Amino acid sequence: MPELPEVESFRNHFDQTSLNEGVKDVIIRNGYILKMDKNKFLKAIKGKTFQSSRRYGKYLFIGLGEGYLLLHFGMSGNLQYFEQMGDEPEYSKIIFQFESGKYLSIISIRKLGKVKIVENLDEYIKEKELGPDALRISREKFMEKMKKKRSYLKTALMDQETICGIGNIYSDEILFQARMHPKKKINKLSDSEMEGLYNNTHDVLETSVERVIAEKEIPEGFLIPHRDKEEKCPQCGSEIKRLKVSNRHGYYCPPCQKR
């Protein structure tokens, strides 16, 4: 699930339910995704209040007054608020119990994902060499970043050090909407094509954030619902093809997305 739009919806869910809640207790059902010493983690978080939230790429940071709780959801993570112990979601890995008696669970079906405390956000982002957030990056910065690259379009979009937040599914959608082939080389794009790529990146992400948060239908004309099996292109009716790029399986429409 979690690419930028999903993580943004987790942030929204967090803000609606858990912001300004005091953490009374922490229940670690499975410490696998906890990437630091358990006792240090408990010490850093027990008795603190969730003061703020910030999404950066696919990361969610929760301000504790002193330091931040870092959440990365891997391929199958989720965040779920619940009211009583009997409603604990399946695959809960770490659960925060609030002063109010309610709970927030970090869910992870598989064990990919990351939970830890970081002292300084900007330092962490710098250390990880994360690029600008894909939803907030300016046209100018996007052009500047992308012009330095020589990789395939799909690879460039998914590279977190170039811009941060796009994964396999949304890179497919962006390229489909931009009518560009996933394996086209990014240094072959003209300026106006590069601007088109920026516009589509922004529009797809913006639309998707809104859609995921409001739990709306996927818009007509999107590729996403047709990623499975031998589906047909929602715009021209041709058969969608599967293509391995950057060791991930992508989908595209050959007639709509020429090299």
Partner DNA sequence: AGCGATGTTCGCCG
Partner DNA sequence: TCGGCGAACATCGC
Q: Which chain residues interact with DNA by CB under 7 A?
A: 1-3, 6, 32, 57-58, 72, 74-76, 91, 109-112, 128, 148-152, 155, 158, 160, 167-169, 227, 244-249
Cβ nearer to DNA, comparing 66 with 144: 144
Q: Please report how the helices 191-214 and 168-178 are oriented relative to each other, as an axis angle in degrees rounded to 10.
A: 130
Q: Which amino acid is at 37?
A: D
DSSP 3-state of 39: helix
Contact (Cβ atoms closer than 8 angstroms) between residue 4 and residue 165: yes
Is 48 or 58 the residue whose CB approaches DNA more closely?
58
The Cα–Cα gap between 82 and 173 comes to 33
Shortest Cβ distance from residue 243 to DNA (Å)? 10
Which of 7, 23 has the CB closer to DNA?
A: 7
- Nearest approach in angstroms of CB 202 to DNA is 18
Distance, CA of 38 to CA of 40 (rounded, Å) = 5
Q: How far is the C-alpha of 38 from the C-alpha of 34, rounded, in Å?
A: 7
Intra-chain end-to-end CA distance of the chain, in Å: 29
Q: What angle do CA 156, 258, 143 make, to 5 degrees?
A: 35
